[in-house]
Amino acid sequence: MNQIDKIVFGDNQFFGINHMSQEKAQQLSEQFYKIQNIFNVYDIAIDCGIKAIMLNSNQRAIDICDYFRKNESKYSDLNWYPSIPYPHKYANIISEKGIFPAINELLFSNNTASGVLGMIAKGSSAIFTKDVIKLMQMLIDAEVKMFKGLNIKVIFLQNVVTDLLLGFGIKEVFEEYCSYIENKYKVIPGLITLNLPYCITKLKEWNIKNVVICSSINKIGFTMSPNIASYEEIILNNNPNEYQIMAMSTLASGAIPPIEAYEYINNQNIQSVVFGASSKKHIEETVRLLKG
Amino acid sequence: MDKNKIKIGIIGFGRMGITHYSIINSHPNVEIVSVADTSKTILSILKKFNKELNVYTDYKELIDESKPDAIIISTPPNLHYPIIKYAYERGVHVFCEKPFTANKQQAEELTNLFANSNLVNQIGFAARYGDVLNKAKELIDQKVIGDAIRFKGEMFSCAIIKKTSGTNWRDNEENGGGVVYEMSSHMIDLINYFFGEPDNVAGTVRNKVFSKNVDDLVSTTLIYNNGLVGTLYINWSDESYRKPMISLEVFGSKGKIIADFYGYKIFLSKENKELNLRKGWNTFYLTDVYKPTPFYVRGGEFTNQLYNFVELILGNQKTNLCDFAEALKTERIIDLMFKNSITINN
Ligand SMILES: NC(=O)c1ccc[n+]([C@@H]2O[C@H](COP(=O)([O-])OP(=O)(O)OC[C@H]3O[C@@H](n4cnc5c(N)ncnc54)[C@H](O)[C@@H]3O)[C@@H](O)[C@H]2O)c1
């Protein structure tokens, strides 16, 4: 399997996401209201040696992608790790209209509607598995579109979706997702999950390999289900030729001091770390500590 | 079929039904045998991927034909009453989404029925399963801030920020829609959990801003005979909140505590050596009290809640954090709010 970057620069800090404090989240969203401030942080990160970026397919990501495409010569050796979908876009429309009308609206507004959607809109029960798969592929295409022209390495499915589908335990959905990403986009399929042991166990059972798994991995077991011991065991015995593992939430939202956090991470059998930070000091420090 | 597994049927397969399916399907001692929904599209898709599942458009058929040991109800609230009653008559354990019912009388009747049976009965007030809020409750129960005198409960979300068409069940009060039943019920339940049922309700004001038929904002005052008083303010039309937010502030004779999903702060007028708390402010985060959940989908609360339901049926746990009798308290408070409220059209 094509090797993923050891250090990936994440995006939560730009979009007013902070899992510990509403105030901090507000402050971040004001700080990055001007998109130039986001580009400035990317430049700092790149100066510190970052070569890979993870970015969720939200509204602001459209402008970010545009900027990097326009300045391709300056940023030619960057690798991109998109994560899809942008869950909040769907959440609000779904609460107003229901799941299927929402999907309809999203796809119709993209002018990519086809027969299957018409059928779903009419509430027809004559829907085939292949139609559902087709629908899934159209949703993927709609989300990945904004990243076109960038050098994509992995396409991740957000944990809200991955974990919901994992619970359903439907092999076909994961098979189809992975093969579509591999065949159409020629990149590695990725899954973000907060249930890494469950996820890897299922993928093995289904004989689905060559997947990047991104999951919270930190010294205190924060958002690591079912528990840290199961994570450590499965990570220790993992074969990176089958599943490359990328750690996120390594600082557990700031609960673990960086030195301690990365000492733990550097001792795990994992291939990559995604982190977010918005100051030069923190970015430099993280890169230094991760290089050990 | 595996004899050691309990058989579960899910009725109502919208947003919550889908979440519950995913969560409880991860439990090693559960087998989901059936799903009912009025949408044939949803059923047909499900059946395509899971050939062994029985699907129904009529919940009565689900109960009679697939013979589940327990059901999970996640339909619009006006259907909770007839479905629970039917399940009771056939001896089926019930987990039902909040709000319990769409009026107090129905909730009373069902509570009485189940009180005289051995059936596990639970309502989905998931906030009771949050790690931070439970820690805050524990500290208040230990009188760390002295006697509680005042509280302030708030909830915000951006669920309704445009004029609605009025067709969704959430836009109909008789169906259990509107901000009072849909959202403030969570906060009222939390207050019942923390302090018991209030004795009186005053000053309920509701605003209609975006919804066609129902209110979007509500505030009220809850009063206890022992002198405790609290105000609630709930708003589902506040665009400044990207994610739903719930917070509870309690002022006591020796300090105060402010808690939400992400952390809690305590202010004390004197040092508490036993609990290692300073005089003045002490801040704690979710990470300080976090307990891992067996399978994570949309936060640990939903998982802990459904696993509690299953473990109660299996006899592995004894404490039901929110049985019908508990949820009935919220129905009584909402009834009082509705009886004496002012509605403002904005
Ligand atoms: N605990 C929480 O945080 C939380 C969050 C959201 C909703 N809820 C509660 O969950 C319940 C459902 O809410 P939702 O958001 O999933 O709504 P929804 O509208 O997404 O889903 C309701 C489903 O019920 C189905 N249905 C309608 N009539 C039916 C019938 N007669 N038989 C079978 N199915 C029928 C609908 O087709 C739909 O699929 C409500 O009581 C709501 O208050 C709780």
Q: How far apart are CA B151 and CA B227, in angstroms?
A: 12
Evaluate if pTM is beyond 0.90.
yes
Q: Give A112's pLDDT tier (boundaries 50, 70, 90).
A: very low
**Is the fold of B6-126+301-318 the same as that of B128-295+329-345?**
no
Closest CA to B220 of B110, B132, B337: B337
Within 10 Å of residue A6's Cβ, how many Cβ atoms?
A: 14
Q: How far apart are CA B168 and CA A223, in angstroms?
A: 34
Q: How far apart are CA A189 and CA A88, in angstroms?
A: 22
For A125, the closest of B40, B50, B162 (CB atoms) is B40
For A164, the closest of B19, B45, B288 (CB atoms) is B19
Q: Give A285's pLDDT tier (boundaries 50, 70, 90).
A: very high
**A255–B contact, CB cutoff 8 A:** yes
Q: Which atom of ligand 1 lies closest to the CA of B96? A: 41
Indicate the average pLDDT of chain A: 89
Identify the pLDDT of residue B241: 87
Tell me which CATH homologous superfamily contains domain B128-295+329-345.
Dihydrodipicolinate Reductase; domain 2 (3.30.360.10)
Give every CB contact of residue B293 below 8 A, 6+ residues apart in sequence.
Answer: A225, A226, B300, B303, B304
- pLDDT: which is higher, B3 or B76: B76
Work out whether the CA dihedral B99, B103, B109, B112 comes out positive or negative. Answer: positive
Closest CA to B208 of B236, B233, B240, B243: B236
To test the ligand 1 pocket, which listed residue (B97, B297, B334) has its Cβ within 8 A of the most ligand atoms?
B97
Per-residue model confidence as pLDDT tens digits over A178-216: 999 999 999 999 999 999 999 999 999 999 999 999 999
With b for 16 or more beta-carbon neighbours within 10 A and e for fewer, the B84-102 pattern comes to bebbbeeebbbbbbbbbbb
Residues facing residue B264 across a β-bridge = B259, B284
Using a CB-CB cut-off of 8 Å, the residues of chain B touching A125 are 40-41, 43-44
Q: What is the DSSP letter of B189?
A: H
Identify the pLDDT of residue A113: 46
Per-residue model confidence as pLDDT tens digits over B323-345: 999 999 999 999 999 998 999 99
**A94–B contact, CB cutoff 8 A:** yes
Q: How far apart are CA A81 and CA A7, in angstroms?
A: 11
Per the CB < 8 A criterion, the answer to whether B199 and B191 are in contact is: no
Give every CB contact of residue A9 below 8 A, 6+ residues apart in sequence.
Answer: A42, A45, A50, A52, A53, A54, A274, A275, A276, A283
Q: Where are the domains of chain B?
A: 6-126+301-318, 128-295+329-345
Q: Could you say which residues from 75 to 134 on chain B have a Cβ atom under 8 Å away from some Cβ of chain A?
A: none
pLDDT at B255 over 70: yes
Q: How far apart are CA B111 and CA B326, in angstroms?
A: 9
Identify the pLDDT of residue A292: 65
Within 10 Å of residue B227's Cβ, how many Cβ atoms?
A: 10
Reduce the DSSP state of residue A213 to 3 states and report it.
strand
- Alpha carbon B22 to chain centroid, angstroms: 18
For B49, the closest of A22, A170, A220 (CB atoms) is A170
Identify the pLDDT of residue B223: 98
pLDDT at B145 over 80: yes
> Ligand 1 mean position to B16 CA, how many Å?
6
Lowest mean pLDDT among A92-96, A264-268, B166-170, B171-175: A92-96
Identify the pLDDT of residue A33: 86
Share of chain B above pLDDT 70, in %: 99
Per-residue model confidence as pLDDT tens digits over B103-139: 999 999 999 999 999 999 999 999 999 999 999 999 9
User: Cα-atom radius of gyration of chain A, to the nearest Å?
Assistant: 19
Instruction: Determine the residue among B45, B240, B288, B301 to mutate to test chain A binding: the one whose Cβ has the most chain A Cβ atoms within 10 Å.
Output: B45
Per the CB < 8 A criterion, the answer to whether B158 and B133 are in contact is: no
- Encoding tokens for residue B202? 């005053």
pLDDT (average), residues B211-223: 96
Give A107→chain B minimum CA distance, Å. 18
Q: How far apart are CA B204 and CA B182, in angstroms?
A: 16
Q: How far apart are CA B194 and CA B188, in angstroms?
A: 10
pLDDT (average), residues B223-249: 95
How many A-B residue pairs are in contact by the CB < 8 A criterion? Answer: 118
Using a CB-CB cut-off of 8 Å, the residues of chain B touching A98 are 14, 168
**A108–B contact, CB cutoff 8 A:** no
Give the position of tokens 């690798």: A79
Within 10 Å of residue A160's Cβ, how many Cβ atoms?
A: 17
To test the ligand 1 pocket, which listed residue (B10, B11, B15) has its Cβ within 8 A of the most ligand atoms?
B15
Q: Give B4's pLDDT tier (boundaries 50, 70, 90).
A: confident
Q: Give B143's pLDDT tier (boundaries 50, 70, 90).
A: very high
Per-residue model confidence as pLDDT tens digits over A126-160: 566 777 888 889 889 989 999 999 999 999 999 99
pLDDT at B35 over 80: yes
Q: Which atom of ligand 1 lies closest to the CA of B77? A: 41
Give B169→chain A minimum CA distance, Å. 10
Q: What is the dihedral of CA A98, A101, A107, A111, to 10 degrees?
A: -150
> Ligand 1 mean position to B98 CA, how many Å?
10
Mark out the alpha helices in B164-219 (DSSP H runs).
178-179, 185-195
pLDDT at A118 over 60: no
Q: Give A24's pLDDT tier (boundaries 50, 70, 90).
A: confident
Q: How far apart are CA B81 and CA B75, in angstroms?
A: 11
Q: Strands B229-235 and B245-252: what pairing?
A: unpaired
Identify the pLDDT of residue A99: 66
| Position B209, amino acid | V
Identify the pLDDT of residue A122: 52
Q: Is the C-beta atom of B14 inside 6 A of ligand 1? A: yes
Share of chain A above pLDDT 70, in %: 85
Q: How far apart are CA B337 and CA B202, in angstroms?
A: 8
What fold is seen in the domain B6-126+301-318? Rossmann fold (3.40.50)
For B297, the closest of A99, A123, A163 (CB atoms) is A163
pLDDT at A165 over 60: yes
Lowest mean pLDDT among A174-188, B155-169, B282-296: B155-169
For B296, the closest of A100, A163, A228 (CB atoms) is A163
Indicate the average pLDDT of chain B: 95
Per the CB < 8 A criterion, the answer to whether B70 and B78 are in contact is: no
Q: Is the C-beta atom of B72 inside 6 A of ligand 1? A: no
Most confident range, picked from A13-27, A198-212, B150-164? A198-212
Inter-helix orientation angle A99-108/B40-49, to 10°: 90
Q: What is the DSSP letter of B184?
A: I
Identify the pLDDT of residue A130: 77
Identify the pLDDT of residue A111: 46
Q: How far apart are CA A12 and CA A35, in angstroms?
A: 14
Read off φ and ψ for residue A212, nearest 5 degrees: -95, 130
Starting from the edge strand earliest in sequence, which strands make up the sheet with B200-208, in order? B280-285, B263-268, B255-260, B245-252, B148-156, B229-235, B217-223, B200-208, B341-345
> Ligand 1 mean position to A199 CA, how many Å?
28
Q: Could you say which residues from 179 to 238 on chain B have a Cβ atom under 8 Å away from some Cβ of chain A?
A: none
With b for 16 or more beta-carbon neighbours within 10 A and e for fewer, the A97-127 pattern comes to bbbbebbbebbeeeeeeeebbebbbeeeeeb
Identify the pLDDT of residue A141: 93
